[in-house]
Structure 1
């Protein structure tokens, strides 16, 4: 994908996540903590240490982990999400801290964290090359051997996804503004970019990352639309 188009899509994502209705929605979920599927995945965390919550939103996972005794730093591209998370941390007396970041440049020294969590976030990074850069950057700030816990949506197969996109007028209108989209790139609500994965394409992309080895990929439920992934920093 051409660099200016990737930058445009990333900027669109930032604006999208800054919208008040997005912040309000995620604020309403913050006290629910991890879903049952996420609870399963969090079992792969070390018993203690420093955890990076990538795409933290307003802190739903970060607060849960801080309550369990982890030293948690949440990062997000959205200023509105981070501001809300900080206000909630103060209200709750939580030790979790939050920073707004650029999506592909984390402001931490190499090996700063003992584990990472990235829930439904890397699908918002445009292009396969961009997602590899994202994984490389997250890997850089994890210590060797650290786990990265990743949650991703999948679609059953590429043909069904292509058929759905072909009949989606909002997607077609948004996609027409870009020349270098890849298969299974889509747009939600005529704006927000999301890359769909099939189970095979998700595993293939993750296997190509030099920063990580795949330790486990499981379904949330038999035939479910989520994949729970444990990657291990090489």
Structure 2
């Protein structure tokens, strides 16, 4: 009887261990599966397709100074960044024979720079990877205005209206969804190309930069702005333009590689720092400084 009990006890112990091990394996598998699913969900969500970010960009582009910065203090020289970018482009681009009176705003977001360029340039094409942004651009082109809201605190919001200046001929603009790393040849050439805060958000910025000599007509103007915020979630580290130490122990900046890649085909005309201010809530905001470079196609 004792022997039988011993056998039964051993069998019970083995069975318990098997069940415990199975539960542990299942729990581990479930945990891993859930983590993988969360990663897939996060990866599949494009922040640039959310209503929240659309609203933040609408106020960034079209908000009046008191709508963006509600205080008497603060970096007021950082407001109207998209318009200041257009002004920088137009200070160097002058319509003249032999240079296409066309502009490309690549990474146009919700379109303020494109519309401002249309004050002078006959045809302006805005391209953005976000379909939601492009839809907003086309709605603004169609009606000249768009209602939206900005977040103040928690669930509190303020309703606003984005408006295009009535002096701008909106028919000169067109907008489409597209990939800056794979732009179609059918676009043709442009007298002015603007890439605003784009290159550090591309999976391969070299693909875009290498396309520029065929996009910008000879004598045409290229303007690139970037805060050089290189992040592996957007760009593999081996494809960063800057922000690393090379094999010789030298610090490499984004500007270093812009000059290296663009130098054979473009002359550098100007570089300057341009601050910008993005409103998130009434009390939480982003203040950033972009580096602007202006080039002329040889």
Q: Shift of residue 40 of structure 1? A: 3.5
Partner of 1:122: 199
SS at match of 2:190: coil
Q: How many correspondences in the alignment?
A: 191
Q: Larger % of strand: which? A: 2
SS at match of 2:194: strand
Partner of 2:227: 153
SS at match of 2:134: helix
- Aligned counterparts of 2:208 and 2:88: Cα–Cα separation in 1: 24
- Aligned counterparts of 2:195 and 2:220: Cα–Cα separation in 1: 14
Contact preservation (8 Å) 2:89, 2:192: no
Q: Shift of residue 37 of structure 1? A: 6.1
Which structure: larger Rg? 2
Give the TM-score normalised by the residue count of structure 1. Answer: 0.67
**CA distance 1:35–1:88, change in 2 (3 Å):** closer
Q: What residue ranges of structure 2 are gaps of 5+ in the alignment?
A: 1-41, 64-79, 145-168, 245-250, 276-287
Shift >6 Å, 4+ stretches: none
CA RMSD of aligned residues (A): 3.5
1:69-99 C-alpha deviation (Å, 9 max, x unpaired): 4310000111111011001001126121001
Question: 2:212 matched to 1:138?
Answer: yes
- Aligned counterparts of 2:45 and 2:218: Cα–Cα separation in 1: 30
1:165-184 C-alpha deviation (Å, 9 max, x unpaired): xxxxxx8xx86xx9x5349x
Contact preservation (8 Å) 1:111, 1:143: no
Q: What residue ranges of structure 1 are gaps of 5+ in the alignment?
A: 1-10, 156-160, 162-170, 186-194
Contact preservation (8 Å) 2:86, 2:113: no
- Aligned counterparts of 1:105 and 1:200: Cα–Cα separation in 2: 26
Q: Higher relative contact order at CA 8 Å, sep ≥6: structure 1 or structure 2?
A: 1
Partner of 1:47: 95
Q: Quick one: which of 160, 175, 181 aligns to 1:104?
A: 181
Q: Quick one: which of 204, 215, 219 aligns to 2:268?
A: 215
Give the TM-score normalised by the residue count of structure 2. Answer: 0.54
- Aligned counterparts of 1:20 and 1:82: Cα–Cα separation in 2: 13
Partner of 2:297: 233
Contact preservation (8 Å) 1:148, 1:231: yes
- Aligned counterparts of 2:83 and 2:192: Cα–Cα separation in 1: 19
